[in-house]
């Protein structure tokens, strides 16, 4: 939602956020060794079936934080 709001403030009404999210997902898969569930959590996607989610207590915050630091270095 943050990127969408930024695009709107920039006057770029016709753009959609999905392309940014897709680019991040492909980049994480191709350039890092982070597991796919960490990338999905970073994109705020729901990961796994309901039972698995019920038992997963953490969200991999430190791993997601490190993943975002890598992304910031490449921009």
Task: Report residue 73's pLDDT band, with 50, 70 and 90 as the boundaries.
Answer: low
Pick the closest to residue 39 from 75, 63, 14, 55 (CA basis): 63
Contact call for residues 42 and 67 (beta carbons, < 8 A): yes
Domain residue spans of the chain: 18-74
Q: Quick: pLDDT tens for 11-69.
A: 988 888 877 778 888 888 888 888 888 888 888 777 778 888 788 777 788 888 888 88
Angle (deg, nearest 10), helices 18-31 and 61-74? 100
């Amino acid at each position: 939602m943050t990127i969408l709001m930024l695009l709107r403030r920039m006057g770029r009404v016709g753009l959609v956020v999905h392309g940014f999210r897709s680019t991040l997902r492909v980049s994480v898969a191709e350039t890092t060794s982070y597991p796919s569930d960490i990338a999905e959590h970073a994109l705020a996607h729901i990961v796994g079936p309901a039972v698995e989610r019920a038992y997963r207590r953490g969200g991999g915050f430190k791993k997601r934080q490190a993943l975002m630091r890598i992304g910031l270095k490449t921009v």
